[in-house]
């Protein structure tokens, strides 16, 4: 199981490989911790990273009784938060991962005969956050 610690819901492809979204108060707390309305200082960044890592450890999120919290977490967001968050997760024995997507171009024929090109990002796996 991989807990989603990003502000975005997991895609269908990510859900299919075991990503679990936070919900309710946990999701609201995550979004608040990942949103910075002012320039943060170093301690503020560390505090938020610790808070987000603690959200991953909330009882009952592991889902299988023997594992009280997930062993992996999908992270992403402000680049200056990711290294402290990855470290805070590692301290809690949770492996931080980044989602990897492949961009594919699709053509969609329109009713007027024109063709619209769109980019679709398809989940292709996870990249470990290298220390």
pLDDT given for residue 60 in this prediction: 54
pLDDT given for residue 56 in this prediction: 92
Give per-residue pLDDT as tens, 51-102: 999 999 885 565 555 555 789 999 999 999 999 999 999 999 999 999 999 9
pLDDT given for residue 67 in this prediction: 53
pLDDT given for residue 120 in this prediction: 85
Distance CA 78, CA 74 (A): 14
pLDDT given for residue 69 in this prediction: 74
Please report the DSSP string for 89-124 in residue order. HHHTT-EEEEEEEEEEEEEEE-TTS-EEEEEEEEEE
Tell me the pLDDT of the chain averaged across its residues.
91
Work out the number of other CB atoms within 10 angstroms of the CB of residue 65. Answer: 7
Distance CA 90, CA 59 (A): 18
Distance CA 131, CA 92 (A): 15
Domain of 70 in residue numbering reads as 2-128
Query: How many domains in the chain?
Result: 1
């Amino acid at each position: 199981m991989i807990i989603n610690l990003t502000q975005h819901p997991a895609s269908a492809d990510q859900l299919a490989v075991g990503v679990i979204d936070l919900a309710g108060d946990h999701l609201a707390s995550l979004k608040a911790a990942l949103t910075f309305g002012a320039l943060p200082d170093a301690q503020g960044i560390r505090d938020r990273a610790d808070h987000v890592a603690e959200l991953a450890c909330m009882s009952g999120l592991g889902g299988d009784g023997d594992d009280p919290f997930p062993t992996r977490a999908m992270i992403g967001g402000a680049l200056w938060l990711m290294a402290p968050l990855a470290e805070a997760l590692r301290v809690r024995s949770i492996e931080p991962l980044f989602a990897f997507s492949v961009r594919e171009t699709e053509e969609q024929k329109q009713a007027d005969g024109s063709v619209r090109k769109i980019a679709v990002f398809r989940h292709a796996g996870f990249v470990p956050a290298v220390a």
